[in-house]
Amino acid sequence: MMTLKQSRRLQSVLLGSLSWLIAALIFFPIFWMVLTSFKTELDAFATPPQLFFTPTLENYLHIQERSDYFHFAWNSILISFSATILCLLIAVPAAYSMAFFETKRTKRTLLWMLSTKMLPPVGVLMPIYLLAKTFGLLDSRIALIAIYTLINLPIVVWMIYTYFKDIPPEILEASRLDGATTRQEIFRVLMPICKGGLASTALLSLILCWNEAFWSLNLTSSNAAPLTALIASYSSPEGLFWAKLSAVSTLACAPILIFGWISQKQLVRGLSFGAVK
């Protein structure tokens, strides 16, 4: 007979192994991508796949030679951060009004906003392409910033709304009695209280913008192209170069991955803010 202590221990070992297995499964493609980026094209194609090989940096050098990596990276940074800031500027007042001045239509408005995320983007490709063309915004950062802001707005409003909903309205009423204007109420009371939630929302928006490929591929070519477009440019009609594709993908993922790693604690705390309070 197992004692209670032993059975608990066994349970935790089993659960631990299971989580490690799932984590390994999720991580494996990224690991393989990074590994392949250090192989020669020949090693990359080898069957069976090689785990041990002589690493080389030639793919990375080739990429910097053929295309200016920092140009694309700068575009990604500029577009993602601008879209995120713009998105927050619109979402915070919207969520404030929905959370603290709820009307009969608030819930429906939120649902409607979220439902726009269910629309397949390709469904509106034509009109948006034509709009961008008419306004001379093809291959411009402004077009991507505007589109990213708008496509992330529903989810950002929704997230901030749930964080705001967790704040007892009396705290804001107290600040109103203390003489705070609406602006002071938002900036000096509401936002500092929700800074964890706001940070994780901003982080999520950044990641979504960084990884977006559909619109960047369709609306940009070189001038405003972000890293996702750079990756796509390496799947050429002359054939697939696995090693180079892996190298460029690693380069594209690296910044946001490192950024996410650093702010991991903030992200987890923000995402579980409402759940564990």
Partner 1 sequence: MANLIIRNLQKGFDGHQIIKGIDLDVRDREFVVFVGPSGCGKSTLLRLIAGLEEVTAGTIELDGRDITQVTPAKRDLAMVFQTYALYPHMTVGKNLSFALDLAGVAKDEVKRKVDEAARILELGPLLERKPKQLSGGQRQRVAIGRAIVRNPKIFLFDEPLSNLDAALRVQTRLELSRLHKELQATMIYVTHDQVEAMTLADKVVVLNGGKVEQVGSPLELYHHPANLFVAGFLGTPKMGFLKGKVSRVETGGCEITLDAGTTISLPFTNAQQRLGDSVTLGIRPEHLELAKPGDCQLQVIADVSERLGSDTFCHVKTRSGEALTLRIRGDMASQYGETLDLHLDSHHCHLFDAQGLVITKALQAAA
Q: Which is nearer to partner 1, 79 or 194 (CB)?
A: 194
- Residue 277 touching partner 1 (CB under 8 A): no
Q: Which is nearer to partner 1, 5 or 104 (CB)?
A: 104
- Residue 13 touching partner 1 (CB under 8 A): no
AA identity, residue 247: A
Q: Which is nearer to partner 1, 168 or 237 (CB)?
A: 168
- Residue 276 touching partner 1 (CB under 8 A): no
Q: Which is nearer to partner 1, 91 or 189 (CB)?
A: 189
Cβ atoms within 10 Å, residue 100: 16
Minimum Å gap between C-beta 101 and partner 1 is 12
Q: Which is nearer to partner 1, 133 or 188 (CB)?
A: 188
Question: Can you tell me which of 68, 102, 166, 178 binds partner 1, judged by CB under 8 A?
Answer: 178
Q: Say if residue 79 is exposed, middle or buried (CB neighbours under 10 Å; 0-12, 13-18, 19+).
A: buried
Question: Hey, is 236 helix, strand or coil?
Answer: strand
Distances (CA, A) of 251 to 63, 195, 196, 264: 10, 30, 29, 20
Of residues 150, 129, 151, the one with CA closest to residue 140 = 129
Question: Hey, is 239 helix, strand or coil?
Answer: strand
Question: Can you tell me which of 33, 90, 193, 199 binds partner 1, judged by CB under 8 A?
Answer: 193
Binding mask 150-169 for partner 1 (x = CB under 8 A): ------------------x-
Q: Whole-angstrom Cα distance, residue 272 to residue 277?
A: 8
Minimum Å gap between C-beta 273 and partner 1 is 13
- Residue 175 touching partner 1 (CB under 8 A): yes
Question: Can you tell me which of 29, 127, 192, 237 binds partner 1, judged by CB under 8 A?
Answer: 192
Q: Which is nearer to partner 1, 147 or 190 (CB)?
A: 190
Binding mask 194-233 for partner 1 (x = CB under 8 A): -x--------------------------------------
Q: Whole-angstrom Cα distance, residue 174 to residue 159?
A: 24
Q: Which is nearer to partner 1, 8 or 188 (CB)?
A: 188
- Residue 144 touching partner 1 (CB under 8 A): no
Distances (CA, A) of 81 to 59, 85, 142, 277: 29, 6, 12, 30
Of residues 258, 236, 242, 235, the one with CA closest to residue 59 = 242
By the 8 A CB rule, do 218 and 203 touch? no
- Considering only the stretches 17-25, 172-180, 223-231, 268-276, report the one whose residues sit in contact with partner 1 under the rule CB under 8 A: 172-180
Q: Whole-angstrom Cα distance, residue 158 to residue 110?
A: 7
Interface residue list for partner 1 (CB under 8 A): 168, 170-171, 173-181, 184, 189, 192-193, 195
